[in-house]
């Protein structure tokens, strides 16, 4: 299997594999660029209904490659800012991907790797998984993490995690909202495959609409979101694609899908 980022498509399911198991799938500059490119290509093709992110071997992603991070620290201020902007760009591509993204987390998901895991729309974690943001241990103030973490969990909890750099087990990560669901370690692949198949069977426009609406209304009040929701639903429900899908479901042909 060649390449540090490997993409496999089967039907409506696209799987993106971090393929550097000898380094616990730690990311260097090349992997960041290739992951941005891979997600961009998948978006352009528009055939996937769900994208799975996972790591090869025993770990999801142990963070940034130390050698890569050390090289960046030798850069001047402008160049270093550009390097960090690549991480921002990746976060934006992942968060803005039009269909659901799913992280299958095993072993370590730390720092940069934890960010990739929790910024996916759905995060399944094996019971044995460990998650956290340990940057503070290396004297790094993880401002990029803080830019989004307080939107995923309580701001008070987010700051505590970043300031202490402590690791969480999967159960605590689920309890505070970083993880969608914890599954037995030996069943992560099975649960992931079942979830992928379920989402792949959904109408793509319906998936896109749900995800876009969810993010667009994050800062709206209840009434404003409700009015906007009525407008969005009316707009998409008149499309030929959804009319056919909804009609089939009402006739019982699409039940369970």
Among all chains, which residue has been given the structure tokens 């799975």?
52
Q: Looking at the chain, which runs of residues are DSSP E strands?
A: 5-10, 13-18, 50-55, 101-105, 108-110, 122-126, 130-132, 167-169, 181-183
Residues tagged active-site: 135
In 3D, which of 24, 93, 28 has the Cα closest to residue 55?
24
Report helix angle 204-216 to 222-237, nearest 10.
160
CA distance 40 to 212: 17
CA distance 6 to 127: 25
CA distance 184 to 86: 34
- Indicate the pairing of strand 130-132 with strand 108-110: parallel
Among all chains, which residue has been given the structure tokens 């991907």?
97
Residue 3 phi/psi, 5-degree rounding, is: 95, 150
Q: Mapping DSSP to helix (H, G, I), strand (E, B) and coil, where does residue 70 land?
A: helix
């Amino acid at each position: 299997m060649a390449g540090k980022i490997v993409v496999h498509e089967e039907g409506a399911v696209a799987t993106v594999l971090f393929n550097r198991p000898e380094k616990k799938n730690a990311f260097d500059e090349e992997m960041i660029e290739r992951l941005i490119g891979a997600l961009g290509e998948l978006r352009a093709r528009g055939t996937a209904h769900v994208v799975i992110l996972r790591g090869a071997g025993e770990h999801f992603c142990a963070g940034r490659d130390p050698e890569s991070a050390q090289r960046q620290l030798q850069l001047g201020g402008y160049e270093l800012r550009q390097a960090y902007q690549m991480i921002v760009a990746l976060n934006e591509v992942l968060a803005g991907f039009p269909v659901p993204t799913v992280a299958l987390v095993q072993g370590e998901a730390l720092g940069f790797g934890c960010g990739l895991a929790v910024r996916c729309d759905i995060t399944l974690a094996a019971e044995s998984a460990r998650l956290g943001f340990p940057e503070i241990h290396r004297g790094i103030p993880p401002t990029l993490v803080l830019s989004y973490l307080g939107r995923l969990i309580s701001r008070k909890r987010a700051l505590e995690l970043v300031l202490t750099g402590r690791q969480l087990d999967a159960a605590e990560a689920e309890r505070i909202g970083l993880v969608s669901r914890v599954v037995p370690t030996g069943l992560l692949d099975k649960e992931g495959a079942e979830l992928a198949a379920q989402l792949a069977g959904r109408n793509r426009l319906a998936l896109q609409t749900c995800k876009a609406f969810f993010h667009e209304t994050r800062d709206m009040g209840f009434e404003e979101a409700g009015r906007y929701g009525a407008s969005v639903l009316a707009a998409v429900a008149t499309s030929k694609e959804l009319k056919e899908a909804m009609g089939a479901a009402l006739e019982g042909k699409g039940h369970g899908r």
